[in-house]
A and B are shown apart, each in its own frame.
Chain A
Amino acid sequence: MRHPVYTTFGVLLVLLVVAAEVRGWTPMRPNEVKNVPRSIRDNPGAYRPHYRSFGVGHYMGGK
C-alpha cells in the first residue's frame, strides 16, 4: 500500500466524522448546566444563565 501513514490518517479522519455523526457532535459548545430547578417554568424572567459572556457586543453598525 502506498502512503500508509496518510491512508491511516485519512481513514481515522473518516471514522471520526462518522463517529461525530453517530454521536451528534457539532462544533457548537453551549454552556451545559445540571439540575436546573423546575421553578424556571413559573418565573422564567428570574432565571440567570450561568455565564453571561453573550449579550454584549452586538453588531450595531451597518455599512
Chain B
Amino acid sequence: MSAPAVASLSCSQCGAAIELRTLDQAQSVVCASCGSILDARDPNLHLIQAFEARQKFTPQIPLGTRGTLKGEKWEVVGFQVRRATIDGTSYDWEEYLLFNPYKGFRYLTQYDGHWNDVQVVKAAPKELTSGRQPLVILHGETFKHFQSSNAETVFALGEFPWQIRVGDRAVTRDFVAPPRMLSEEQTPDETTWSLGTYLPAAQIWEGFALPGNPPRPRGVYANQPSHYRPMVGSLAKRYLLLAAIVIAIGALRFVSASRAVVYTSPVSFFRPGQAPESLAFVTPTFTVKGRTANLEVATEAQLDNGWAFFEYALVNEATGATYEFGRDLSYYSGRDSDGNWTEGSKRDRAVLPSVPAGPYFLRVQPQAEVTAPFLEYRIIVRHDVPIATPYLICLALLALPPIFVAFRAWGMESARWKESDYASGSGSDDSDGSDSDSDSDSDDD
C-alpha cells in the first residue's frame, strides 16, 4: 500500500489536529484529544456527540498502524469498545476498523485475547430452525446459534464509515462453525451480517509489527478452533486399525498354540486336616518339548463350600531350576432371599512364563478345608497355551491416547458452550469443524 492520502483537519471543539485517512469514506471521526465525535462529511467537522464515554480505552493496535493481514496491507483507522451485559455481567470487546483504499474495510475483534478477522457479508444467510437451536447456512456452511445479546458502543476512537455514537445499541446474534463465526447486528435502521475467522494473536502481532508478545488468550472462545476435535476421528480410525492387527495376531495365536498336554494326574484324593507336609508328593517326570513357551498348570478340585490350597514347585530335573507358586481355590454356594448363589470356582489355571524344554516334575503340597472327608482333585499341565491378558492390556493401552484426546476435545467443547445461550443443556457440543484451545498443548498425537 503506497502512502495513503491523508486530510489534515482541526477539531471543531478543541482545535486539535485530526487526520482523515479514509477521506470521503469517513462519515464520522473521533477527536483523539477531546473525544468529541465529529461529522467527517462536514468541512467544519460539525459536532455529532460530545465526549460521553465513561472510560477511556487504549487500543492494543494504535490508530494509524499499518500491517499485513493474509497477504494484504491494512491500516488501523478506527477503534471502538462494545459491551454486552448478560445476566448483570458486562463483557467488553474491542473492534478495530482496518482500511485499504483498494479493498475497503474489514475488522479485527478482540475479546479476552481471542482475535477474529471480520468482514461484512453482503448476502444474508439462510436461517433454519432445528429444535431449540437456530441454524444459519452461508455458502453451504452451517452455523449453530451460540449467543444473542444487546451490544452497546462504550468507547470510540478514529474514523468510521458510519455515524458512530457512544451509546449506539444493536441486537446481536452469533452463530458458530469453528473457526468461523457469523454475526448478525440489528439496529432499527438495518440488519448487517459479518463473517469472522479466528486468528491467532501472534499472526496479528507479526503482521502489524507490534512490540512484545500478545496477551495470552483466556478461556475458550466461541469459534476458537480445537486441535483435538479433528484428531478424535482419525485417532479412532488408527486405533481400530491397530486393534484389528492385535486381534488378528491374537486369533492366529489362539489357532496355532499347541496346547500340548505334558502331564495329567490321575483323579486323586486327600484327607483335609492332615499336616500339609505329610500330603506333599511329586509327580512322575514329564517332558516339555519345543521352543521356550509358557506352561499352564490347571487344577480342578471338587470343592463344595470350602477352600483348597496347592503349593507347587515345578522342578527342571536336568538343571534343578524351580518355579515355586501357590494356587488358591474356593467354591461356596447356598440359597438366600435372592435365590441360589455361588462364589469362587472349582478350577484354577496358572500360566508360568518362558519355560524352556526339558524334563520336569511337580512337587505338590495340597491342603484344604472342606465339609467332605476327602477332596477329589486333578492336575493337568499344558505347554504353549494362548492367554488373552497381553492382548487385552495392549488394546487398553492403545485406547489411552484416543480417549485422552477425546476427553480434551469434549472438555474444550464443554468450555466453549458453557459461555453460550445453551450452557445448561450440553447439547451443543458438536460444532462441526475444528477448534483449538487456548492453552493448547500442541500436538499430542
Contacts and interface: CB of A to CB of B under 8 A. Distances in A.
Q: Do A and B come from one complex?
A: yes
Q: Which of B291, B319, B322, B341: most chain A Cβ within 10 A?
A: B322
Contact of B344 (A3, A20, A45, A59): A59
Nearest to B386: A21
Interface residues of B, number: 72
B69 interface: no
A17 B355 contact: no
Interface in B289-316: 291-295, 305, 307, 309, 311, 313-315
Contact of B325 (A6, A28, A47): A28
A14 B277 CA distance: 45
B280 A36 contact: no
A47 B280 contact: yes
B341 A63 contact: yes
B324 A14 contact: no
Contacts of B42: none
Interface of A: 2-7, 9-11, 13-14, 16-18, 20-21, 23-38, 40-41, 44-47, 49-51, 54-55, 58-63
A46 B280 CA distance: 9
A2 to B, nearest CB: 5
Given A30-B324, A50-B324, A5 B307 contact: no
A55 B313 CA distance: 14
Given A6-B238, A21-B253, A62 B305 contact: yes
A62 B246 contact: no
Given A24-B293, A24-B295, A40-B282, 6 more contacts: A10-B239, A11-B242, A23-B292, A25-B294, A28-B325, A62-B305
A33 B353 contact: no
A54 B352 CA distance: 16
A36 to B, nearest CB: 4
B218 to A, nearest CB: 29
A16 B394 contact: yes
9 contacts: A9-B401, A11-B242, A13-B242, A13-B394, A30-B324, A33-B323, A33-B324, A36-B313, A49-B326
